[in-house]
Structure 1
Amino acid sequence: MGKTNWKAQAVTAAVVTGLMGFAAHANDESKQDKQSMEQGKAVGEAAGKRVQYVGKLAVFNNRQIKLARLGEEQASDPRVKEFATKLREDHEKSQESLRTWAQNKKMEISALSDSNQTSEAQGTGGSGVQEGYNKKMEGSGEKLGKAIDETNAEITKLQAKQGPEFDKAFLTRITDDQKKGKEILKEGRKEYKNDASFLALLSDTETTVSGNETQAKELEKQMKK
Protein backbone atom coordinates (compact mmCIF):
# COMPACT_ATOMS: atom_id res chain seq x y z
CA MET A 1 0.00 0.00 0.00
CA GLY A 2 2.83 2.30 0.93
CA LYS A 3 4.51 1.54 -2.37
CA THR A 4 1.36 2.50 -4.27
CA ASN A 5 1.10 5.77 -2.37
CA TRP A 6 4.72 6.51 -3.22
CA LYS A 7 3.98 6.00 -6.91
CA ALA A 8 0.91 8.23 -6.70
CA GLN A 9 2.93 10.92 -4.96
CA ALA A 10 5.68 10.61 -7.57
CA VAL A 11 3.17 11.01 -10.42
CA THR A 12 1.57 14.01 -8.68
CA ALA A 13 4.95 15.63 -8.18
CA ALA A 14 5.81 15.11 -11.85
CA VAL A 15 2.52 16.64 -12.98
CA VAL A 16 2.97 19.66 -10.71
CA THR A 17 6.53 20.12 -11.94
CA GLY A 18 5.31 19.93 -15.52
CA LEU A 19 2.59 22.51 -14.89
CA MET A 20 5.08 24.84 -13.27
CA GLY A 21 7.35 24.52 -16.29
CA PHE A 22 4.45 25.18 -18.64
CA ALA A 23 3.43 28.23 -16.63
CA ALA A 24 6.98 29.61 -16.70
CA HIS A 25 7.15 29.05 -20.46
CA ALA A 26 3.77 30.74 -20.91
CA ASN A 27 4.95 33.70 -18.84
CA ASP A 28 8.08 33.99 -20.97
CA GLU A 29 6.00 33.93 -24.13
CA SER A 30 3.60 36.49 -22.66
CA LYS A 31 6.53 38.74 -21.75
CA GLN A 32 8.01 38.39 -25.23
CA ASP A 33 4.64 39.14 -26.82
CA LYS A 34 4.30 42.26 -24.67
CA GLN A 35 7.81 43.42 -25.57
CA SER A 36 7.12 42.77 -29.25
CA MET A 37 3.89 44.73 -29.03
CA GLU A 38 5.59 47.70 -27.33
CA GLN A 39 8.41 47.68 -29.86
CA GLY A 40 5.85 47.55 -32.66
CA LYS A 41 3.97 50.51 -31.19
CA ALA A 42 7.18 52.52 -31.01
CA VAL A 43 7.91 51.74 -34.67
CA GLY A 44 4.36 52.70 -35.65
CA GLU A 45 4.50 55.96 -33.69
CA ALA A 46 7.83 56.86 -35.31
CA ALA A 47 6.35 56.17 -38.75
CA GLY A 48 3.33 58.32 -37.93
CA LYS A 49 5.56 61.13 -36.69
CA ARG A 50 7.55 61.06 -39.92
CA VAL A 51 4.37 61.15 -42.02
CA GLN A 52 3.08 64.10 -40.00
CA TYR A 53 6.34 66.00 -40.45
CA VAL A 54 6.49 65.41 -44.19
CA GLY A 55 2.86 66.49 -44.39
CA LYS A 56 3.66 69.70 -42.49
CA LEU A 57 6.48 70.51 -44.90
CA ALA A 58 4.26 69.73 -47.89
CA VAL A 59 1.57 72.07 -46.55
CA PHE A 60 4.17 74.81 -46.21
CA ASN A 61 5.26 74.34 -49.84
CA ASN A 62 1.65 74.33 -51.04
CA ARG A 63 0.95 77.55 -49.17
CA GLN A 64 3.91 79.32 -50.75
CA ILE A 65 2.92 78.10 -54.22
CA LYS A 66 -0.63 79.40 -53.82
CA LEU A 67 0.53 82.76 -52.45
CA ALA A 68 3.12 83.05 -55.22
CA ARG A 69 0.50 82.46 -57.90
CA LEU A 70 -1.57 85.25 -56.39
CA GLY A 71 1.49 87.49 -56.44
CA GLU A 72 2.08 86.72 -60.11
CA GLU A 73 -1.50 87.67 -60.93
CA GLN A 74 -2.01 90.70 -58.72
CA ALA A 75 1.32 92.41 -57.97
CA SER A 76 1.64 95.86 -59.51
CA ASP A 77 5.42 96.16 -59.25
CA PRO A 78 7.32 94.11 -61.89
CA ARG A 79 9.99 93.26 -59.30
CA VAL A 80 7.37 91.74 -57.03
CA LYS A 81 5.86 89.79 -59.92
CA GLU A 82 9.30 88.46 -60.82
CA PHE A 83 9.94 87.47 -57.21
CA ALA A 84 6.55 85.73 -57.01
CA THR A 85 7.45 83.64 -60.06
CA LYS A 86 10.77 82.65 -58.49
CA LEU A 87 9.01 81.81 -55.24
CA ARG A 88 6.52 79.56 -57.02
CA GLU A 89 9.18 77.77 -59.04
CA ASP A 90 11.37 77.26 -55.96
CA HIS A 91 8.60 75.69 -53.92
CA GLU A 92 7.30 73.61 -56.81
CA LYS A 93 10.81 72.20 -57.10
CA SER A 94 10.99 71.58 -53.34
CA GLN A 95 7.58 69.93 -53.40
CA GLU A 96 8.57 67.65 -56.27
CA SER A 97 11.74 66.61 -54.43
CA LEU A 98 9.70 65.86 -51.33
CA ARG A 99 7.13 63.92 -53.36
CA THR A 100 9.85 61.80 -55.00
CA TRP A 101 11.44 61.08 -51.63
CA ALA A 102 8.10 60.09 -50.10
CA GLN A 103 7.27 57.80 -53.01
CA ASN A 104 10.62 56.05 -52.61
CA LYS A 105 9.78 55.51 -48.94
CA LYS A 106 6.31 54.17 -49.85
CA MET A 107 4.64 57.07 -48.04
CA GLU A 108 1.25 58.38 -49.14
CA ILE A 109 0.93 62.00 -48.05
CA SER A 110 -2.31 63.69 -49.07
CA ALA A 111 -0.71 67.16 -48.88
CA LEU A 112 1.66 66.04 -51.65
CA SER A 113 -1.20 65.27 -54.00
CA ASP A 114 -3.17 67.75 -56.07
CA SER A 115 -6.35 67.12 -54.09
CA ASN A 116 -7.51 68.73 -50.86
CA GLN A 117 -8.18 65.45 -49.11
CA THR A 118 -7.51 65.53 -45.41
CA SER A 119 -6.64 61.88 -44.87
CA GLU A 120 -3.09 60.62 -44.50
CA ALA A 121 -1.36 57.32 -45.21
CA GLN A 122 -2.50 54.07 -43.68
CA GLY A 123 -0.42 52.11 -41.21
CA THR A 124 2.14 49.45 -41.88
CA GLY A 125 1.32 46.13 -40.23
CA GLY A 126 0.78 44.16 -37.05
CA SER A 127 2.62 43.46 -33.77
CA GLY A 128 1.57 46.85 -32.44
CA VAL A 129 2.85 48.81 -35.44
CA GLN A 130 -0.62 49.65 -36.75
CA GLU A 131 -1.84 50.55 -33.28
CA GLY A 132 1.09 52.87 -32.65
CA TYR A 133 0.71 54.45 -36.07
CA ASN A 134 -3.02 55.04 -35.70
CA LYS A 135 -2.57 56.58 -32.27
CA LYS A 136 0.07 59.01 -33.55
CA MET A 137 -2.03 59.95 -36.57
CA GLU A 138 -5.16 60.85 -34.59
CA GLY A 139 -6.38 64.29 -35.59
CA SER A 140 -3.96 64.64 -38.54
CA GLY A 141 -6.77 65.10 -41.04
CA GLU A 142 -8.31 67.88 -38.99
CA LYS A 143 -4.96 69.67 -38.70
CA LEU A 144 -4.42 69.48 -42.45
CA GLY A 145 -7.91 70.79 -43.12
CA LYS A 146 -7.31 73.68 -40.71
CA ALA A 147 -4.03 74.58 -42.44
CA ILE A 148 -5.75 74.61 -45.85
CA ASP A 149 -8.54 76.82 -44.47
CA GLU A 150 -6.00 79.26 -43.02
CA THR A 151 -4.20 79.54 -46.35
CA ASN A 152 -7.45 80.14 -48.22
CA ALA A 153 -8.44 82.82 -45.71
CA GLU A 154 -5.05 84.53 -46.09
CA ILE A 155 -5.36 84.51 -49.87
CA THR A 156 -8.87 86.01 -49.68
CA LYS A 157 -7.55 88.73 -47.39
CA LEU A 158 -4.69 89.58 -49.76
CA GLN A 159 -6.97 89.55 -52.83
CA ALA A 160 -8.88 92.46 -51.34
CA LYS A 161 -5.79 94.69 -51.61
CA GLN A 162 -4.66 96.42 -54.78
CA GLY A 163 -1.58 98.14 -56.18
CA PRO A 164 1.33 99.01 -53.86
CA GLU A 165 -0.78 98.06 -50.84
CA PHE A 166 -1.00 94.52 -52.17
CA ASP A 167 2.71 94.40 -53.00
CA LYS A 168 3.72 95.40 -49.47
CA ALA A 169 1.24 93.05 -47.79
CA PHE A 170 2.32 90.19 -50.04
CA LEU A 171 6.02 90.67 -49.25
CA THR A 172 5.31 90.91 -45.52
CA ARG A 173 3.28 87.70 -45.66
CA ILE A 174 6.03 85.87 -47.54
CA THR A 175 8.76 87.13 -45.19
CA ASP A 176 6.83 85.89 -42.15
CA ASP A 177 6.12 82.57 -43.85
CA GLN A 178 9.79 81.99 -44.70
CA LYS A 179 10.67 82.46 -41.02
CA LYS A 180 8.10 79.81 -40.09
CA GLY A 181 9.43 77.58 -42.85
CA LYS A 182 12.94 77.79 -41.44
CA GLU A 183 11.62 76.66 -38.05
CA ILE A 184 9.92 73.66 -39.66
CA LEU A 185 13.16 72.76 -41.46
CA LYS A 186 15.23 73.26 -38.31
CA GLU A 187 12.91 70.83 -36.51
CA GLY A 188 13.39 68.24 -39.24
CA ARG A 189 17.18 68.58 -39.38
CA LYS A 190 17.33 67.97 -35.64
CA GLU A 191 14.90 65.05 -35.63
CA TYR A 192 16.28 63.26 -38.71
CA LYS A 193 19.96 64.17 -38.52
CA ASN A 194 20.93 60.52 -39.08
CA ASP A 195 18.97 60.21 -42.33
CA ALA A 196 21.46 61.48 -44.93
CA SER A 197 19.12 61.62 -47.95
CA PHE A 198 16.32 63.36 -46.07
CA LEU A 199 18.77 65.72 -44.40
CA ALA A 200 20.15 66.73 -47.79
CA LEU A 201 16.62 67.47 -49.03
CA LEU A 202 15.89 69.60 -45.96
CA SER A 203 19.18 71.47 -46.29
CA ASP A 204 18.49 72.30 -49.94
CA THR A 205 15.01 73.54 -49.05
CA GLU A 206 16.36 75.61 -46.17
CA THR A 207 18.87 77.31 -48.49
CA THR A 208 16.01 78.20 -50.84
CA VAL A 209 13.81 79.48 -48.03
CA SER A 210 16.58 81.62 -46.54
CA GLY A 211 17.32 83.12 -49.93
CA ASN A 212 13.67 83.99 -50.52
CA GLU A 213 13.36 85.51 -47.07
CA THR A 214 16.36 87.76 -47.76
CA GLN A 215 15.00 88.80 -51.16
CA ALA A 216 11.53 89.54 -49.77
CA LYS A 217 13.02 91.72 -47.03
CA GLU A 218 15.13 93.62 -49.57
CA LEU A 219 12.09 94.24 -51.76
CA GLU A 220 10.14 95.43 -48.72
CA LYS A 221 12.84 98.03 -48.04
CA GLN A 222 12.73 99.19 -51.63
CA MET A 223 8.94 99.53 -51.48
CA LYS A 224 9.29 101.92 -48.52
CA LYS A 225 11.61 104.30 -50.37
Structure 2
Amino acid sequence: MGNKNWKTRAVAAAVMTGLLGFAAHAEDPMAKQDKEAMKQGKQVGEAAAKRVQFVGSLAVFNNRQIELARLAEEQATDPRVKEFATKIRTDHESNNQTLRTWAENQQMTVSALMDGSTSDMGVGGSGVQQGYDKGMDKAGEKLGKSIDETNKQITELRAKEGPEFDKAFLSRIAEDQKKGNEMLKKGRGEYKNDATFLAILSQTEGVVSGHEKEAKELEKQMKK
Protein backbone atom coordinates (compact mmCIF):
# COMPACT_ATOMS: atom_id res chain seq x y z
CA MET A 1 0.00 0.00 0.00
CA GLY A 2 2.81 2.36 0.97
CA ASN A 3 4.68 1.45 -2.19
CA LYS A 4 1.56 2.12 -4.29
CA ASN A 5 1.07 5.53 -2.65
CA TRP A 6 4.71 6.36 -3.36
CA LYS A 7 4.20 5.48 -7.01
CA THR A 8 1.01 7.52 -7.17
CA ARG A 9 2.73 10.52 -5.69
CA ALA A 10 5.67 10.09 -8.06
CA VAL A 11 3.36 9.99 -11.09
CA ALA A 12 1.44 13.01 -9.82
CA ALA A 13 4.69 14.88 -9.27
CA ALA A 14 5.87 13.98 -12.75
CA VAL A 15 2.59 15.14 -14.29
CA MET A 16 2.67 18.38 -12.30
CA THR A 17 6.27 19.02 -13.34
CA GLY A 18 5.28 18.45 -16.95
CA LEU A 19 2.39 20.90 -16.67
CA LEU A 20 4.58 23.54 -15.07
CA GLY A 21 7.18 23.00 -17.74
CA PHE A 22 4.52 23.40 -20.43
CA ALA A 23 3.24 26.59 -18.83
CA ALA A 24 6.74 28.00 -18.60
CA HIS A 25 7.40 27.04 -22.19
CA ALA A 26 4.13 28.67 -23.24
CA GLU A 27 5.23 31.93 -21.60
CA ASP A 28 8.79 31.80 -22.93
CA PRO A 29 8.17 33.35 -26.37
CA MET A 30 6.61 36.47 -24.85
CA ALA A 31 9.22 36.63 -22.09
CA LYS A 32 12.00 36.27 -24.63
CA GLN A 33 10.42 38.92 -26.84
CA ASP A 34 10.18 41.31 -23.90
CA LYS A 35 13.79 40.66 -22.91
CA GLU A 36 14.98 41.07 -26.48
CA ALA A 37 13.00 44.29 -26.88
CA MET A 38 14.48 45.60 -23.62
CA LYS A 39 17.98 44.61 -24.73
CA GLN A 40 17.58 46.29 -28.11
CA GLY A 41 16.07 49.35 -26.46
CA LYS A 42 19.06 49.65 -24.14
CA GLN A 43 21.43 49.35 -27.07
CA VAL A 44 19.57 52.13 -28.89
CA GLY A 45 19.66 54.30 -25.77
CA GLU A 46 23.37 53.70 -25.20
CA ALA A 47 24.11 54.53 -28.85
CA ALA A 48 22.08 57.74 -28.55
CA ALA A 49 23.96 58.71 -25.39
CA LYS A 50 27.28 58.00 -27.07
CA ARG A 51 26.33 60.22 -30.01
CA VAL A 52 25.23 63.05 -27.71
CA GLN A 53 28.48 62.80 -25.75
CA PHE A 54 30.52 62.92 -28.94
CA VAL A 55 28.65 65.94 -30.27
CA GLY A 56 29.00 67.61 -26.87
CA SER A 57 32.75 66.97 -26.84
CA LEU A 58 33.07 68.37 -30.35
CA ALA A 59 31.11 71.47 -29.36
CA VAL A 60 33.28 71.97 -26.27
CA PHE A 61 36.35 71.67 -28.50
CA ASN A 62 34.99 74.35 -30.84
CA ASN A 63 34.09 76.60 -27.91
CA ARG A 64 37.59 76.21 -26.52
CA GLN A 65 39.20 77.33 -29.78
CA ILE A 66 36.80 80.27 -30.02
CA GLU A 67 37.67 81.48 -26.51
CA LEU A 68 41.41 81.09 -27.08
CA ALA A 69 41.13 82.94 -30.39
CA ARG A 70 39.18 85.82 -28.83
CA LEU A 71 41.90 86.23 -26.24
CA ALA A 72 44.58 86.28 -28.97
CA GLU A 73 42.61 88.85 -30.98
CA GLU A 74 42.83 91.13 -27.94
CA GLN A 75 46.28 90.31 -26.63
CA ALA A 76 48.55 89.08 -29.45
CA THR A 77 51.26 91.49 -30.58
CA ASP A 78 52.23 89.92 -33.89
CA PRO A 79 49.74 90.90 -36.66
CA ARG A 80 50.06 87.44 -38.19
CA VAL A 81 48.96 85.85 -34.92
CA LYS A 82 46.02 88.24 -34.62
CA GLU A 83 44.93 87.44 -38.17
CA PHE A 84 45.29 83.71 -37.51
CA ALA A 85 43.25 84.04 -34.31
CA THR A 86 40.41 85.69 -36.21
CA LYS A 87 40.47 82.87 -38.73
CA ILE A 88 40.31 80.27 -35.97
CA ARG A 89 37.40 82.02 -34.28
CA THR A 90 35.29 82.39 -37.43
CA ASP A 91 36.02 78.84 -38.59
CA HIS A 92 35.07 77.26 -35.28
CA GLU A 93 32.00 79.46 -34.94
CA SER A 94 30.99 78.16 -38.37
CA ASN A 95 31.73 74.59 -37.25
CA ASN A 96 29.46 75.00 -34.25
CA GLN A 97 26.69 76.53 -36.35
CA THR A 98 26.80 73.59 -38.76
CA LEU A 99 26.77 71.16 -35.83
CA ARG A 100 23.92 73.07 -34.18
CA THR A 101 21.78 72.93 -37.32
CA TRP A 102 22.40 69.20 -37.67
CA ALA A 103 21.56 68.59 -33.99
CA GLU A 104 18.31 70.54 -34.28
CA ASN A 105 17.32 68.45 -37.31
CA GLN A 106 17.98 65.35 -35.20
CA GLN A 107 15.85 66.81 -32.39
CA MET A 108 18.95 66.62 -30.22
CA THR A 109 19.60 69.23 -27.53
CA VAL A 110 23.30 69.69 -26.82
CA SER A 111 23.83 72.38 -24.22
CA ALA A 112 27.49 72.86 -25.17
CA LEU A 113 26.26 74.16 -28.51
CA MET A 114 24.12 76.75 -26.74
CA ASP A 115 25.92 77.83 -23.56
CA GLY A 116 29.22 75.94 -23.44
CA SER A 117 28.13 73.48 -20.74
CA THR A 118 26.81 69.90 -20.94
CA SER A 119 24.58 67.77 -23.17
CA ASP A 120 21.14 66.16 -23.11
CA MET A 121 18.54 64.62 -25.39
CA GLY A 122 15.02 63.32 -24.88
CA VAL A 123 14.47 59.59 -25.50
CA GLY A 124 11.48 57.31 -25.14
CA GLY A 125 10.77 53.73 -24.10
CA SER A 126 11.87 52.10 -20.84
CA GLY A 127 14.73 50.10 -22.37
CA VAL A 128 15.88 53.05 -24.46
CA GLN A 129 15.74 55.39 -21.47
CA GLN A 130 17.66 52.95 -19.28
CA GLY A 131 20.35 52.56 -21.90
CA TYR A 132 20.53 56.31 -22.43
CA ASP A 133 20.78 57.04 -18.70
CA LYS A 134 23.53 54.44 -18.35
CA GLY A 135 25.42 55.85 -21.31
CA MET A 136 25.11 59.42 -20.04
CA ASP A 137 26.32 58.55 -16.55
CA LYS A 138 28.95 61.11 -15.55
CA ALA A 139 28.97 62.57 -19.08
CA GLY A 140 28.14 66.03 -17.78
CA GLU A 141 30.92 65.77 -15.21
CA LYS A 142 33.41 64.82 -17.93
CA LEU A 143 32.48 67.75 -20.16
CA GLY A 144 32.45 70.04 -17.14
CA LYS A 145 36.05 69.08 -16.34
CA SER A 146 37.01 69.88 -19.92
CA ILE A 147 35.46 73.34 -19.58
CA ASP A 148 37.25 73.90 -16.26
CA GLU A 149 40.53 72.97 -17.92
CA THR A 150 39.85 75.46 -20.71
CA ASN A 151 39.18 78.24 -18.20
CA LYS A 152 42.39 77.39 -16.35
CA GLN A 153 44.51 77.48 -19.50
CA ILE A 154 42.95 80.75 -20.68
CA THR A 155 43.77 82.31 -17.30
CA GLU A 156 47.38 81.12 -17.58
CA LEU A 157 47.65 82.37 -21.16
CA ARG A 158 46.15 85.74 -20.26
CA ALA A 159 49.00 86.29 -17.79
CA LYS A 160 51.56 86.21 -20.61
CA GLU A 161 52.52 89.24 -22.70
CA GLY A 162 54.20 90.13 -25.98
CA PRO A 163 56.05 87.46 -27.99
CA GLU A 164 55.75 85.07 -25.04
CA PHE A 165 51.96 85.21 -25.36
CA ASP A 166 52.06 84.76 -29.14
CA LYS A 167 54.27 81.67 -28.92
CA ALA A 168 52.24 80.15 -26.08
CA PHE A 169 49.02 80.73 -28.01
CA LEU A 170 50.34 79.07 -31.18
CA SER A 171 51.67 76.13 -29.20
CA ARG A 172 48.31 75.72 -27.44
CA ILE A 173 46.39 75.88 -30.71
CA ALA A 174 48.69 73.39 -32.48
CA GLU A 175 48.28 70.88 -29.65
CA ASP A 176 44.51 71.39 -29.47
CA GLN A 177 44.05 70.95 -33.21
CA LYS A 178 46.03 67.72 -33.09
CA LYS A 179 43.75 66.37 -30.35
CA GLY A 180 40.72 67.60 -32.28
CA ASN A 181 41.89 65.71 -35.35
CA GLU A 182 42.21 62.52 -33.34
CA MET A 183 38.67 62.93 -32.01
CA LEU A 184 37.30 63.60 -35.52
CA LYS A 185 39.06 60.59 -37.03
CA LYS A 186 37.59 58.40 -34.31
CA GLY A 187 34.15 59.89 -35.02
CA ARG A 188 34.47 59.27 -38.76
CA GLY A 189 35.15 55.62 -38.05
CA GLU A 190 32.30 55.35 -35.57
CA TYR A 191 29.68 57.09 -37.74
CA LYS A 192 30.82 56.11 -41.22
CA ASN A 193 27.32 54.87 -42.09
CA ASP A 194 25.72 58.26 -41.40
CA ALA A 195 26.47 60.17 -44.61
CA THR A 196 25.30 63.58 -43.40
CA PHE A 197 27.12 63.47 -40.08
CA LEU A 198 30.19 61.96 -41.73
CA ALA A 199 30.31 64.89 -44.18
CA ILE A 200 30.24 67.34 -41.25
CA LEU A 201 33.07 65.52 -39.49
CA SER A 202 35.16 65.33 -42.67
CA GLN A 203 34.69 69.03 -43.37
CA THR A 204 35.59 69.92 -39.79
CA GLU A 205 38.64 67.68 -39.92
CA GLY A 206 39.87 69.54 -42.99
CA VAL A 207 39.54 72.87 -41.17
CA VAL A 208 41.27 71.57 -38.06
CA SER A 209 44.15 70.04 -40.05
CA GLY A 210 44.67 73.38 -41.77
CA HIS A 211 44.78 75.18 -38.43
CA GLU A 212 47.30 72.74 -36.98
CA LYS A 213 49.57 73.13 -40.00
CA GLU A 214 49.32 76.93 -39.98
CA ALA A 215 49.99 77.17 -36.24
CA LYS A 216 53.15 75.08 -36.59
CA GLU A 217 54.30 77.14 -39.57
CA LEU A 218 53.83 80.40 -37.67
CA GLU A 219 55.74 78.94 -34.74
CA LYS A 220 58.69 78.20 -37.03
CA GLN A 221 58.61 81.68 -38.52
CA MET A 222 58.65 83.30 -35.08
CA LYS A 223 61.69 81.29 -34.02
CA LYS A 224 63.77 82.71 -36.89
Q: Same fold judged by TM-score > 0.5? A: yes
2:29 maps to which residue? 28
Question: Partners in 2 of 1:200 and 1:66 — Cα distance?
Answer: 25
- Provide structure 2 residue ranges, at least 5 long, that are not aligned to the other structure: 1-15
1:21 deviation in Å? 5.3
Q: For residues 34 and 80 of structure 2, what CA distance do their matches in structure 1 show?
A: 63
Where 1:48 maps in the other structure, the secondary structure is helix
Once the two structures are TM-superposed, the CA of residue 117 in structure 1 deviates from its matched residue by: 4.0
Distance 1:111 1:16 in 2: 59
Measure, in 1, the Cα distance between the counterparts of 2:80 and 2:110: 34
Map residues 48-127 of structure 1 onto 2, 5 A cutoff.
Answer: 48-113=49-114, 115-118=115-118, 120-127=119-126
Distance 1:27 1:55 in 2: 41
Tell me the SS of whatever aligns to 1:128. Answer: helix
Residue 122 of structure 1: how far off its partner (Å) = 3.8
CA distance in 1, matches of 2:35, 2:179: 41
1:36–1:127 Cα contact (<8 Å) kept: no
Q: Which amino acid aligns with 1:214?
A: K
Instruction: State the 1:144 CA deviation.
Output: 1.3
- Aligned amino acid, residue 199 of structure 1: L
Q: How far did residue 23 of structure 1 move? A: 3.6
Contact preservation (8 Å) 1:48, 1:137: yes
Task: State the AA in 2 paired with 1:66.
Answer: E
Tell me what 1:208 maps to: 207
**How far did residue 123 of structure 1 move?**
4.0
Q: Which moved more, 1:25-34 or 1:142-151?
A: 25-34
Tell me if the contact between 1:40 and 1:132 (Cα under 8 Å) persists in the aligned partners. yes
- TM-score, L = length of structure 1: 0.89
Note the C-alpha offset of 1:19.
7.0
The TM-score, its normalising length taken from structure 2, stands at 0.89
Q: Which runs of 4+ in 1 moved over 3 A?
A: 15-23
Amino acid in structure 1 at the alignment position of 2:52: V
Q: Deviations over 1:17-67 (max 9, x none)?
A: 987655433221111101110010001000000001111111100000000
Would the aligned equivalents of 1:68 and 1:84 in 2 still touch at CA under 8 Å? yes
The separation in 1 between residues aligned to 2:22 and 2:166, in whole angstroms, is: 79
Q: Does 1:191 align with 2:190?
A: yes
The amino acid across from 1:44 in the alignment is: G
Offset at 1:141?
1.0
**1:45 matched residue in structure 2:** 46
Contact 1:123 1:134 in 2 (8 A): no
2:3 aligned partner: none
How far apart, in 1, do the equivalents of 2:116 and 2:203 lie?
Answer: 26
Q: Give the percent of matched residue pairs that are identical in Structure 1 and Structure 2.
A: 66
* 1:181/1:209 contact within 8 Å kept: yes
